[in-house]
Amino acid sequence: MYFICYTNVMNQTVTINSDQAVLSDFDGTLVETEAAKGQLFHEGVDLAQAQTELIYPNVESHVSGESTTDPMIKWVEAAENEASRKSRQAFLEIYLAHWNGQQTELYGSAENLKFFPGSPGLVQQLNPERAALVSSNPTNRLKLALKTLKWESNFGTVIGYDNPQVTAKKPDPSSYRVASQTLNHPAEQCVTIEDSLAGITSAVGANIGRVLLVHRGKVEISGNLQQFVASNAERVSVISSLKQIQFQ
């Protein structure tokens, strides 16, 4: 298998042409919400543990990058009997009530939406007729975040997981397919900006012409992410900062 040269790709400047549409992820790509979400996660777990007297064992699953609810749902499904399943389901419902109840405060506060370097400059250069925000968040949450950041006029299209044409969350390709179709722009002439394996898998599956993976870590990419990037090297490029993106 051919592996890309991580260091060389990271140092390249990437040019987006005026005839290309830009489809960008939000959390982890344009803004950093990990700290705020981490606090909400621990608050929700503490609350659910106090009310159910159960101990949630999978905190590390969340820290390692899985979505907030997926490891908890798996924990519920793995219960050894019906009584245990009901107790765990009650735990999940308490947690979700807290999590969902705090999302408006999270995405409605600029203090919780930290810009990554280069993010404001990139967004200000977007042509709204050729720019879409594509996320596994619900649409109303994304629109609230755009309003909070005063980015409402920069993205002409907002595609959340609850869009009726989106059949599943990333890594399913439907969200990026719907985005390019909504913009009435061929997928091959679109550029996607992402920060995760699920995101770039979704974009490649939607036949997006160019996919930029923003990897800000101090260690080299490895494992499944490295293998996917290597096997799609003609389409996927790795950059370390949004400042490497230029428009012409």
What's the whole-model pTM score?
0.87
User: Residue 84: pLDDT above 60?
Assistant: yes
Share of the chain above pLDDT 90, in %: 78
Q: How many CB atoms lie within 10 A of CB 171?
A: 18
- Give pLDDT, residue 68: 67
- Give pLDDT, residue 58: 78
The tokens describing 204, both together, are: 């490649």
- Give pLDDT, residue 67: 58
Give the separation between CA 123 and CA 114, rounded to whole angstroms: 14
User: Residue 34: pLDDT above 80?
Assistant: yes
Share of the chain above pLDDT 70, in %: 91
- Give pLDDT, residue 90: 97
User: Residue 75: pLDDT above 60?
Assistant: yes
Summarize the confidence of residues 116-120 as an average pLDDT. Answer: 97
- Give pLDDT, residue 69: 81
The tokens describing 189, both together, are: 């002439």
- Give pLDDT, residue 143: 97
pLDDT in tens, 35-65: 888 889 999 999 999 999 999 987 776 654 5
Q: Which of 99, 51, 38 is nearest to 73 (CA)?
A: 99
Q: State residue 123 phi and psi, 5-degree precision.
A: -60, -40
Summarize the confidence of residues 108-126 as an average pLDDT. Answer: 96
Summarize the confidence of residues 24-35 as an average pLDDT. Answer: 94
Percent of residues in the chain assigned helix, strand, coil, to nearest 5: 50, 15, 40
- Cβ-contact 167, 205 below 8 angstroms: no
**Mean pLDDT, all residues of the chain:** 91
pLDDT in tens, 119-174: 999 999 999 999 999 999 999 999 999 999 999 999 999 999 999 999 999 999 99
- Give pLDDT, residue 141: 95
